Amino acid sequence: MKTNSIYKTSLLTAALLLAATSCVKDELHNTPHPDTGKITVTADWTDRGEGVDIPAEWTVTMGDYTGTETGETHAPDYLFNPGDYTLAAYNTPENITISGTTATITGTPGWLFTSVHEVTIEADTDYDLTATMHQQVRQLTLVIEPTGDAADRIESIEGSLSGAAGTLDFATGIYGAASDVALHFTRITEGDDAGKWTATVRLLGIAGNLQRLTATLTYSNGNPQPTELESDLTAALVDFNADKTDPLTLGGTIAETPTEAGVEAGITDWEKIDGGGVDAEM
C-alpha cells in the first residue's frame, strides 16, 4: 500500500511539474504562432483624383504569398518566417498587366493604384500594416485652337503623342518602353471654347527625352489639302509623372491654318489650363 501511495504521489508531482512548465512556456509567447509572424494589411485609398472610384478588388504580395481582397482590410491565413520582405499592393485595371512590381500598358489604361513597403518580420509577432495606394495613371487633355481662313473648314484632326510610358516599375519609379499613343480630337461646338479641338487620354506616365504631337488636319471638300501638324510637348510635360491625381490640360494655338498644300502647321507655346478642363459642350 505504501508503494502505491509513493507511486501516485510521483505521478501527481510529475503532472504538476508538466503543467507548470506548460504555463511558463505559454506565458513566454505573445501569439499562437511563436515561430512565425502574421500580417494584416489595410488599404488607404485617399490618394486618388476626383471622380476616381476605389477599385473593386486589390492584390497583396509578400514573399511567396499572393492574395486578393475586395474589402478594405486583408488578413491572410498565412504565416511568415522571420526575415525581410517587400510588401506590394496593387489593383489590376483594364489594359494593364502586373508582373512583380512592373506594370505594362496593353491599351487605354484604367486607374492603377500601387503601394510598396519594406517589412521586417519577427517571430511571435502580429503586424498591422497600412498600404497607402498611390494613383499611377494621369489624365491628359490637349486643346488646340486653329486660326486663319481655313479654320472653319477643318473636318478632322487625328494624331499621336510620342514618348508615352509603356511600363512602370512602381517599386523603383522607373518608366520605360516609350511608345506612341493615339489622339482622336473632337470639335467643341458650344461655350466659350467653341471652335477649338480637344483630345483626352490616360497615361501611365512619360518616358524618354522627347514627347511630340504629330497630327493631320483634313478639310471639307479637300480644300486645302491635308495639313501636317507637329509640336514639341517635352517642356510642357516635364513634370507629368508627378501629381497624378490632378488631370493636366494644355492649350495651344495654331498660329495660322495653312491654305496651301505642303505647308506644315505648328504650336510653339503650350499653356496649362487651370481646373483641368475647358468650357466645352461636345
Q: Which of helix, strand or coil describes residue 254?
A: coil
Given this model, what pLDDT does residue 280 score?
A: 34
Given this model, what pLDDT does residue 24 score?
A: 46
Would you give the distance in Å from CA 239 to the centre of its chain? 16
Q: Is the pLDDT of residue 255 over 80?
A: no
Are 199 and 236 a contacting pair, CB within 8 Å?
Answer: no
Radius of gyration of the CA atoms of the chain, in A: 31
Average pLDDT, the chain: 89
Q: And the C-alpha cell for 158? A: 487625328
**Would you say the CATH fold of 138-272 matches that of 37-135?**
yes
pTM equals 0.85
Domain with residues 138-272, CATH architecture: Sandwich (2.60)
Q: Is 24 left (phi over 0), alpha (psi -120 to 50) or beta?
A: alpha
Quick: pLDDT tens for 204-213.
999 999 999 9
Given this model, what pLDDT does residue 130 score?
A: 98
Given this model, what pLDDT does residue 148 score?
A: 83
Higher-confidence residue: 260 or 44? 44
Model confidence at 28, pLDDT cuts 50, 70, 90, reads: confident
Residue 111 CB: number of other CB atoms within 10 A? 22
Domain ranges of the chain: 37-135, 138-272
Q: Where is 156: in which H helix or E strand?
A: strand 154-164
Domain with residues 37-135, CATH architecture: Sandwich (2.60)
Are 166 and 77 a contacting pair, CB within 8 Å?
Answer: no
The sheet carrying 37-44 orders its strands as 73-74, 37-44, 125-132
Quick: pLDDT tens for 115-152.
999 999 999 999 999 999 999 999 999 999 998 888 99
